[in-house]
Amino acid sequence: MPLLDGRVCIVTGASGEIGSVVVEELVREGAIVCAGARREDKLRELAARLSSDKIRVKRLDVSSPSSVDDFFNMVLGEFGRVDCLVNVAGYPMDRDLWFKHLHEVSEEEVLAVMQVDFMGSLRCAVRAIPIMVKQHGGVVINISSTPAITGQSHGAAYTFAKAALISLTKHITQEYAKYGVRAYTLALGNIKTKPTTSVLSEEEFKAAAAEAPANRWGEPREVASVISFLCSDKASFINGQTIIIDGGAVMR
């Protein structure tokens, strides 16, 4: 039997490179996947490519409370449950913002990133959790990044938002594990996606690969396979952890 037979999973940021591979993996593992992002054309392309009756797509802007409500209403109206929430949506890569010194980053810039990466994940989590508590079971996965653990000398707004996700995960576990809810943070290293690699010079691309003892970039499928495992009963006694997927660059 597939790992996630009949589980209802929500994936945000599903139009993106990692998000779409996560959708594909969850569908392959038998889940019903409700996929959201702002670019509906990309979502429709994904649904057409997978050509499965197990996928629903709908526009979702995680920075808008009403859009998140509409999305959850669609999921609940059709399926009446939410077994897994995978918060992949992330603020678009902006090289100028990325390389600003901390003292040059404006409050508005920090809040703009927070609004998507942290608040967007929180918004979806607080809608999913009461449903999961009622079902006595559910999994929330937040996509973070290794600088959230180590800090780094640039990308300040991004690091702050990704670090806040670690505490969101831990809070969910502390408060809701007794109701059967599990939560995880995935701290990703360098995962080869166009939005990330296209802003790098060839030298920067090689230097990023060399950060990991594996001396390479990771692939989106290497993130997706961890997600399907964590969503499944095979991970039933793991809770609240930050799982680092980075080829061994950061070891704890």
Ligand X SMILES: NC(=O)c1ccc[n+]([C@@H]2O[C@H](COP(=O)([O-])OP(=O)(O)OC[C@H]3O[C@@H](n4cnc5c(N)ncnc54)[C@H](OP(=O)(O)O)[C@@H]3O)[C@@H](O)[C@H]2O)c1
Among 39, 44, 134, 216, binds ligand X (CB under 6 A): 39
Q: Check 158, 176, 179, 184 and give the catalytic one.
A: 158
Among 86, 116, 139, 243, binds ligand X (CB under 6 A): 116
Strand-pairing partners, residue 140, are: 85, 183
Give the C-alpha separation, 80 to 88, whole Å.
22
Q: Is residue 121 involved in binding ligand X (CB under 6 A)?
A: no
Among 142, 145, 173, 228, binds ligand X (CB under 6 A): 145
Q: Is residue 16 involved in binding ligand X (CB under 6 A)?
A: yes
For the beta carbon of residue 152, count every other beta carbon within 10 angstroms: 12
Among 8, 60, 164, 230, binds ligand X (CB under 6 A): 60
CB of 236 to ligand X, least distance (A): 25
Our CB check for ligand X shows the closer of 120 and 138 to be: 120
Q: Is residue 12 involved in binding ligand X (CB under 6 A)?
A: yes
b/e 73-111 (16+ beta carbons within 10 angstroms → b): ebbeeeeebbbbbbbbbbbebbeebeebeeeebeeebbe
CB of 165 to ligand X, least distance (A): 9
Q: Is residue 173 involved in binding ligand X (CB under 6 A)?
A: no
Q: Is residue 17 involved in binding ligand X (CB under 6 A)?
A: yes
Our CB check for ligand X shows the closer of 38 and 81 to be: 38
Our CB check for ligand X shows the closer of 77 and 92 to be: 92
Our CB check for ligand X shows the closer of 39 and 216 to be: 39
Q: Is 158 a catalytic residue?
A: yes
Q: Which residues are catalytic?
A: 158
